[in-house]
Structure 1
Amino acid sequence: MEITPTIRAEVQTYLIRKSLTMTEFGHMIDLNVGTVSGIVTGNRSISVHQLDRITMGMNLPPDYFYERYIEECIEEEPLNWRRISPFLYRCVELGRLDCLRRVVGMLLDNPVYLPSLFEVAEDSFKKGYTEAAAFLYENVAEGERYQYSERLAVCQYRLFTIRIRDDQEKNYDAAIQFEPYVERLDEVDQLEALKDLANTYRSLRKWDKVELFAKTLEIKADIQYKLDQAHDVKKENLKKPVSPPFAYWAFSHLLRAEVCEARKDYEKALQHTYKYADLSWVKETDEVTFKWKRRYEEWSEANAYVNKLHAGEISVLDDYVASFSSRSEEILPGLDNIIEAANRFRLDIDHILKQFEKEILTLLDKPECMGVYNQQFTTERFTHFLRELAIYLLRKGRFSDGFTFLFSCLEKSAESNNRIQAIRCMRLFTHFKEHASAHTKEVYGDLIKAVNEDEE
């Protein structure tokens, strides 16, 4: 069994091999000779900053000594947060989750370190180190004694945010897991959390859940707006939500309009649409307020057309197209609404598809989230659009194009673990199977085989 030399021994060997004095090496790595001497002789503890300077001077990878640093400078000495904290941050930055796990495991034996670990998790999350942040949040949550603590709720909210991706099954699990904690967040933070939760269920088309959290969001946003208006202290001293409270209130009605639309109650959908269209009661006149008012005005105009279109008022079609044609983030939702109405009322919209041919091909390459739409909403909306477009083309006898879009929908549904949409694609192929060429059937068979292998 090979014995690994200590950090100090390896530094000493390096100096001898390179014929360097401690003074010369100190100049190279910007450390004074006393510090270098103390480190080499073992009379001085090593900080992670000093370790990084030494490693750089020896032309080694920055994390080369990290495992030995844990053994020699953390495990063998009394726990010292001032020394450990910078090391944890470096482990996060360098992706050394194995080292992070070892040190955190030691710290969790003492609950006094939970608040500090939570701060490291928050900093890691803000800087985009989500894998490390998720590990830290999970451990802080497990170590939290009080189930109704705000810190535990924040950990669960962050984990929910990190876990939401394109996989529909995992998104549903993440939402269900976070649900019990949303009311335990700070009242201001609840607004954004409720919006995120409702948006996730929206992308899953779980309309009862969307309605439940949209109603809660309306009540809490209304309370927060009134509190803001009534406060005597300066507003800059108050904690503020990500968006103005009235914007959450308006969004709650936008969501409820969408729920009513899904239930084919277009009259009630219009009532909610007209509610968020009229924000004249909002007193603020700053640029952020103006931006949100203008945005909801645009959405209400477009969604009023959608409600009327789905209710059978075909005359609004051209006006609806004009309302979103110049706004890139609204093209996918707009086309999806139009193709769905075309299939329901057997409309000919070839001229519209031709108008947006370039945008459709761009979406096929990679649908990207734009504006206020997150990735899971965009992905779900795109798969829905692909299937509706396939239906439209297959009914018109354009079988080659229809099957192309159908297979694309099946592929995207499998990638996002959207089983309901995948099953609908299979049923649709079965319905039009007699019009498929031998090559098309072979492609379908290979696709189904790949999907089944992914399932396994």
Structure 2
Amino acid sequence: MDQRTIRAELEEYLKRNGITINQFSETSGVNSGTLSSIINGNRPISMLQLDRITAGMGLTEGRFYNIYVDECFNLPVLNWRRLRPLIYRSAELDKLDCIERVVGMMMDNLSYATALFDTAEDLFKQGNRKAAALLYESVAESEKYQHSERLALCQYRLFSIALCDDQEVNLRAAVQFESFVDRLDEMDQLDALKDLANIYSSLHRWDKVEKFAQEMGHKAEIQYKLKYGQSKKDENFKEATMPLFAFISYSHVLCSAVYGECREYDKALQYVSLYSEFSWIKEDSQEAHELVSKFNDWAEANTYLYKLMKGDFEILPDYVSYISQRKDEILPALFKILQAANWYRFNVDDILTRFAKEIVGYRERKGRVGIYTAQVTEDHYTHFMTELAYYFLIKGDYNTGIKYILEGLDSSATINSETCIIRCVCLFEEFRHVASVEAQREYQNLISEVRERNEKKTGFIVGYV
């Protein structure tokens, strides 16, 4: 049997239901002369007409899109003005299979790469990221042997789209994108380096965080001198997504965090001093003033933090007072307070009681929290749970400690954090003898979920105690 056509489907529908062209014209909103020409094969169908005909026949949106793809490519000449609306409508209806077919056939002719890239950028801005990814992947594949800026931008977008709650996926995305950063234009490089540093921070790859933070700061300083060091402003100078001084200062924020994680607190405090003084900046916009205030805020918080981590518990009341006014900072700060308490065997029960509601409510807050990306937020919560569990276990409050181990293991499995999974497993095994039968059963169920998830991903059986 010959492949069905939209024209044949429409003609059969009219005959089966005893409907005239004029009657269907009123139902569908398509001109009767146009319908007659379509049925007689004298004119192609536009995207708008196809949607109206489909609705007039009482069928689901996009019912004929796959047939429409075939008909578009059976014409003597490809018509981008017809294919472009098809891609947009397929994106709206999440019909990714249609987009994949269109893109696959279009890329037989590399001259369409620019049109597809521009469409991908538009879809990306609209939030249709899955659809955009198909176009970026196709354009990137067509230019994989070139060192083009467009190829690098495709890879940057694919990196951004790939980021999710799964740390293993994020690591792969970051590693794949790294080598393309230098091919981006100077301003896009700053954003890309910032994004890489942020994602490696959530992965606790501090060597990578320092590398990309320093590279971002160095490149931002060069651009700062180019922009403000010349007497006459370059009209073609591309503006960054935020004031250039902010990239320089944020590189210092990241480096202070790196040294803080390495327990080199004096060096961390040296970097804090670099983002607490802004007499040198040239920017004078409202955004610049707001960013200066934010950096000063971070400088104050991190001064408290690194002094605390050095064992100076006298500043703890001031630190707690500070974070109590800043809800987005409460959980990250509590994690560090707990970490210090566990190192120095210091009791912070009163602080945990004070912020009990915030702790309970934190996990219910999905996505970005304040300055923190969704990945960093979930990572904060997972590490907080494991530190909280350890705090109660060493205090001898075993039921509470076991409860938080299980919650930490559940959260670790959700984001596929191998580090946290291992820590939770080790903690539970160390204190298994004080765990209730019910807690042991829940633990085994969580371990089974972790094992199954890893087996599906790797094809190998992963053993946990």
- The TM tier, using the shorter chain, reads over 0.9
The answer (yes or no) to whether the contact 1:257–1:273 under 8 Å persists in 2 is yes
Q: What is the one-letter code of the residue matched to 1:386?
A: M
Out of 269-278 and 282-291, give the one that drifted further.
Answer: 282-291
Deviation of 1:112 (Å): 0.2
The answer (yes or no) to whether the contact 1:261–1:269 under 8 Å persists in 2 is yes
- Residues of 1 paired with 2:235 and 2:305: CA distance? 40
Q: 1:438 to 1:51 in 2, by over 3 A?
A: closer
- Residues of 1 paired with 2:280 and 2:85: CA distance? 50
Out of 53-62 and 371-380, give the one that drifted further.
Answer: 53-62
Partner of 1:447: 446
The answer (yes or no) to whether the contact 1:387–1:405 under 8 Å persists in 2 is yes
User: Which stretches in structure 2 are left out of the alignment for 5+ residues?
Assistant: 456-465
After superposition, where does 1:178-189 map in structure 2 within 5 Å? 178-189=177-188
Q: What is the one-letter code of the residue matched to 2:78?
A: L
After superposition, where does 1:307-322 map in structure 2 within 5 Å? 307-322=306-321
Please state if 1:426 is matched with 2:403.
no
Q: What is the one-letter code of the residue matched to 2:254?
A: L
Out of 43-52 and 223-232, give the one that drifted further.
Answer: 223-232
- Which secondary structure does the structure 2 equivalent of 1:445 belong to? helix
Partner of 1:219: 218
Please state if 1:395 is matched with 2:394.
yes
Q: 1:237 to 1:413 in 2, by over 3 A?
A: same
Partner of 1:124: 123
Residues 32-86 of structure 1, C-alpha deviation per residue, up to 9 Å, x if partnerless?
3332221121111111121112112222212111121122232344212122111
Out of 146-155 and 228-237, give the one that drifted further.
Answer: 228-237
Q: 1:364 to 1:100 in 2, by over 3 A?
A: closer
The percentage of counterpart residues that share the same residue type is 47
- Which secondary structure does the structure 2 equivalent of 1:371 belong to? coil
- Residues of 2 paired with 1:219 and 1:365: CA distance? 39
Q: 1:113 to 1:296 in 2, by over 3 A?
A: same
TM, length-normalised to structure 2:
0.93
- Residues of 2 paired with 1:87 and 1:364: CA distance? 40
Out of 48-57 and 304-313, give the one that drifted further.
Answer: 48-57
Residues 316-353 of structure 1, C-alpha deviation per residue, up to 9 Å, x if partnerless?
11111111112111111111111111111111111100
Out of 149-158 and 67-76, give the one that drifted further.
Answer: 67-76
Q: 1:50 to 1:27 in 2, by over 3 A?
A: same
Out of 380-389 and 54-63, give the one that drifted further.
Answer: 54-63
Partner of 1:46: 45
- Which secondary structure does the structure 1 equivalent of 2:444 belong to? helix
Residues 275-319 of structure 1, C-alpha deviation per residue, up to 9 Å, x if partnerless?
011122212222101110111111110011111000111111111
Partner of 1:331: 330
Out of 242-251 and 296-305, give the one that drifted further.
Answer: 242-251
After superposition, where does 1:41-440 map in structure 2 within 5 Å? 41-144=40-143, 146-230=145-229, 238-366=237-365, 368-440=367-439
Deviation of 1:226 (Å): 2.3
- Residues of 1 paired with 2:334 and 2:367: CA distance? 15
The answer (yes or no) to whether the contact 2:331–2:380 under 8 Å persists in 1 is yes
Q: 1:232 to 1:10 in 2, by over 3 A?
A: farther
- Which secondary structure does the structure 2 equivalent of 1:44 belong to? coil
Out of 294-303 and 362-371, give the one that drifted further.
Answer: 362-371
Partner of 2:463: none
Compute the RMSD of aligned alpha carbons: 1.9
Deviation of 1:389 (Å): 0.5
The answer (yes or no) to whether the contact 1:221–1:246 under 8 Å persists in 2 is yes
- Residues of 2 paired with 1:410 and 1:77: CA distance? 59
Deviation of 1:4 (Å): 5.8
- Residues of 1 paired with 2:37 and 2:367: CA distance? 55
- Residues of 1 paired with 2:46 and 2:367: CA distance? 44
- Which secondary structure does the structure 2 equivalent of 1:277 belong to? coil
How many residues are paired up? 455
- Residues of 2 paired with 1:426 and 1:237: CA distance? 56
Q: What is the one-letter code of the residue matched to 1:51?
A: L
User: Which stretches in structure 1 are left out of the alignment for 5+ residues?
Assistant: none
- Residues of 2 paired with 1:425 and 1:443: CA distance? 13
